[in-house]
Structure 1
């Protein structure tokens, strides 16, 4: 059995202009990190060791945005920006060394909005859920992988969770042709909402999504390049296989 932890980066709101001053991202990224249950303990301790090394309390949600951090006293005199970059590099190195697989969906909202394909922000998540599942199914089929997969997503307020659940189910039920092979034997039929403060896999998914988003939104590919080798490939290519760029039509 494996667990697919999912998180996203960027805003889901519609965007018809490339003006960055709007405060609404051009790209929406959904990322997944797939870990077999036998590898969970090793993955957890790699990540936990980093938090234990640098922070006063390691039981908190460490996000790639690096907000609201409380470092140990011995790091108080360090340059904060340099320290954050050091920790980020250690986190992405830990993901590199972990026995896991990565998946991603890239949605450029501007052309999709211009052509009327994205009409509301729910459709952003709908497309993302559909294609993250397609990416995982591509891998499962090509590698004859029969592991059952449980999907875990960061829990927020009840209204948001209900919205995510409905959009996930709609993506599955309305696109059965694109998701051939998707069934309860391979995937949990529902989303499982978890508290990310206590679920390290969701925190790692946040780091993956953050790296992918910065790579396309800000052209900062330092960390996305570190993760490239963790994406399954087909004939040496991961784009359109485990990393799906939603067509801009």
Structure 2
């Protein structure tokens, strides 16, 4: 049989869907690791992005942090953390590495989204007596939500696709299926594992795209359909 036929046969075997190393269990592990990584990245990137965007300072800092995070190879960081000690081996190392990987799109989109709010609207809010924090949460954040959601969508899909690397350091997830195929030299199993990861990433993209569309007002939707890739420093001007 060719690899495609082998993959179809393997995926249709009920035994491969059950148990601690079954597809359902590994998918749950994959999503849990991805969720933790994105959650940590959001806590860091959103806090920093909102503060810098609101104060109008730190455009260069956003560029430096984003570029530095992108420059660190996820696999290299994963390997380094796993070698530090037993506590980091497996899921903790994977979560930290993926969180670093997810920070750039979250940070840059949040910063640019806040800085992109019409200054006249902000001035009007302040003229009505709103405090700095009230202006941020009642005016700037709601108007920046489309771009913030776009950054979240990009980060989440990237993390789901990259969580496959967890299997290399004893973590869970669908990468274990690919490792199994490599160990057994069965290209059909490798193909099946890759297919499952691709389906999960596409499903994540579709669900978050729908959520982003629901969060974006109709007249803004046409202007904000893609994540921001422009240099955040330009937004500070």
TM-score normalized with structure 1 length: 0.24
Which entry has the higher C-alpha Rg, 1 or 2?
2
**Greater relative contact order (Cα 8 A, min sep 6): structure 1 or 2?**
1
TM-score normalized with structure 2 length: 0.25
Which structure has greater strand proportion? 1
